[in-house]
């Protein structure tokens, strides 16, 4: 059930409706929009008795929600959600957000070298795992909190926002302390206790699609986070498993317009895990921007052959720079722009970088 407030409803009227919903034993989620506020209701097992709510001042109408998810649905919020990370860095809306960096933080020197290249190319967000979910228990598992400290130093030195993965409830608390965005990986997309914990965090969440998850399952996973009160969720298509064996996964770009039809949440694309092959990352990045993605998350390494994880799918800094130039042009055709870079659309020279 959604309570749609009148365009001129006052703050007091909205608060009174929320109070009434809570008195009925449910949770109220007021979501302001450009035209009017809608209030989502969760916690009800059956239909909500709407007559009492409809009678309250400022209420335009009560409408049943037709989808199993409520808070992520466009029905609740027509305007696209823009996740604001501060310092002019946003995910969603007209600007494209580019997140780039290594699969894993391996050392301070490695992270700093790559971060310099990422910032010089004009990206504003840095990725790098300190906790790595690996298929083999014998593979590099990440530097843990030491890796998070390095990421915090990258932010201070280069003014980049930090995106890094939490693999369980313990790492989530630490990741939330050090990062700007908590990444929940494909393998954890349906780890419901982790999703609920992320929903109680004040940090935005990057939620990656599970390797065999349907669109509805992805949206329901995001719903877990929003239902706990964290509305800053960024979805990510990172490829699904199919019979195709020319790539590591099959990048399902058709999910981008499908998500945008159903949900107000931003959705970005990971062409690195989506293809698993360096030479395919650039063409699929171009395609992702063309199809309307709100951004990209790309693995970059200055010595990919020596990388401790995912070297095969990491592009070189020079490729990132070239790619940024190309996607600026594709974005312009679509009336969008790439956040970051100077007036000519070039990246920031490294000497000019000051921490935000």
Which residues sit at the interface with Mn ion, rule CB under 5 A?
A: 103, 310
Helix (H, G, I), strand (E, B) or coil at 177: helix
268: Cα within 13 Å, side-chain hemisphere: 28
Among the candidate windows 115-123, 138-146, 185-193, 346-354, which touches ligand PEP by CB under 6 A? 185-193
Residue of 133, 144, 292, 345 that binds ligand PEP (CB under 6 A): 133
Nearer to Mn ion, 304 or 347 (CB): 304
Per-position x/- string for 221-240, each x denoting binding to ligand PEP as judged by CB under 6 A, each - no binding: -----------------x--
Residues 2-31 that bind ligand PEP (CB under 6 A): none
Choose the contact partner of 106 out of ligand PEP, Mn ion, none; CB within 5 to 8 A by kind.
none
Query: Per CB under 6 A, does 210 bind ligand PEP?
Result: no
d(CA 180, CA 186): 19
Nearer to Mn ion, 118 or 215 (CB): 118
Contact 118, 320 (CB under 8 A): yes
Contact 270, 297 (CB under 8 A): yes
Contact 208, 185 (CB under 8 A): yes
Among the candidate windows 6-14, 182-190, 285-293, 347-355, which touches ligand PEP by CB under 6 A? 182-190
Contact 206, 230 (CB under 8 A): no
CA distances from 273 to 17, 186, 286, 298, 320 (A): 45, 10, 15, 9, 16
Least Å distance, CB 236 to ligand PEP, is 7
Query: Per CB under 6 A, does 103 bind ligand PEP?
Result: yes
Q: Which residues are within 8 A (CB) of 156 and not within 5 positions of it... i.e. 6 or more apart?
A: 355
Count the site residues for ligand PEP by CB under 6 A: 10
Query: Per CB under 6 A, does 311 bind ligand PEP?
Result: no
- Two tokens, residue 162: 């930090």
Residues 186-205 that bind ligand PEP (CB under 6 A): 186-187
Among the candidate windows 35-43, 183-191, 224-232, 326-334, which touches ligand PEP by CB under 6 A? 183-191
Contact 184, 165 (CB under 8 A): yes
Least Å distance, CB 240 to ligand PEP, is 10
Element (H, E) at 195: helix 192-199
Nearer to Mn ion, 304 or 340 (CB): 304
d(CA 50, CA 62): 6
Instruction: Name the site residues for ligand PEP (rule: CB under 6 A).
Output: 103, 129, 133, 185-187, 208, 238, 270, 273
């Amino acid at each position: 059930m959604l309570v749609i407030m009148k365009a001129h409803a006052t703050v007091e009227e909205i608060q009174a409706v929320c109070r009434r919903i809570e008195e009925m034993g449910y949770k109220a989620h007021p979501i302001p929009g450009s035209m009017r506020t809608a209030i989502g209701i969760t916690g009800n097992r059956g239909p909500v008795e709407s007559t009492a709510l409809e009678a309250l001042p400022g209420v335009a109408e009560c409408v049943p929600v037709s989808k199993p998810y409520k808070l992520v649905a466009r029905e609740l919020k027509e305007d696209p959600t823009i996740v604001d990370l501060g310092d002019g860095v946003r995910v969603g809306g007209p600007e494209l957000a580019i997140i780039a960096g290594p699969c894993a933080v391996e050392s301070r020197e490695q992270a700093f070298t790559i971060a310099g290249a990422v910032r010089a190319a004009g990206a504003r967000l840095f990725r790098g795992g300190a906790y790595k979910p690996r298929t083999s228990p014998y593979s590099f598992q990440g530097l843990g909190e030491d890796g998070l400290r390095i990421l915090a130093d990258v932010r201070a030195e280069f003014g980049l926002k930090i995106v890094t993965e939490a693999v369980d409830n313990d790492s989530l608390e630490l990741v939330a302390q050090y990062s700007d965005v908590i990444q929940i990986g494909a393998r954890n997309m349906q780890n419901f206790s982790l999703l609920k914990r992320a929903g109680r965090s004040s940090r935005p969440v990057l939620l990656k699609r599970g390797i065999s998850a349907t669109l509805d399952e992805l949206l329901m996973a995001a719903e877990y986070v929003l239902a706990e009160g964290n509305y800053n969720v960024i979805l990510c298509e990172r490829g699904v498993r199919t019979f195709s064996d020319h790539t590591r996964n099959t990048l399902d770009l058709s999910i981008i317009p499908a998500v945008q039809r159903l949900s107000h949440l931003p959705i970005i694309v990971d062409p690195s895990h989506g293809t698993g092959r360096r030479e395919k990352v650039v063409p699929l990045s171009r395609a992702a921007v063309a199809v309307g993605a709100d951004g990209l998350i790309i693995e970059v390494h200055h010595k990919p052959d020596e990388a401790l994880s995912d070297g095969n799918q990491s592009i070189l800094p020079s490729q990132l720079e070239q790619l940024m130039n190309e996607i600026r042009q594709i974005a312009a055709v679509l009336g969008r722009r790439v956040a970051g870079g100077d007036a000519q659309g070039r990246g920031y020279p490294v000497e000019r970088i000051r921490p935000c």
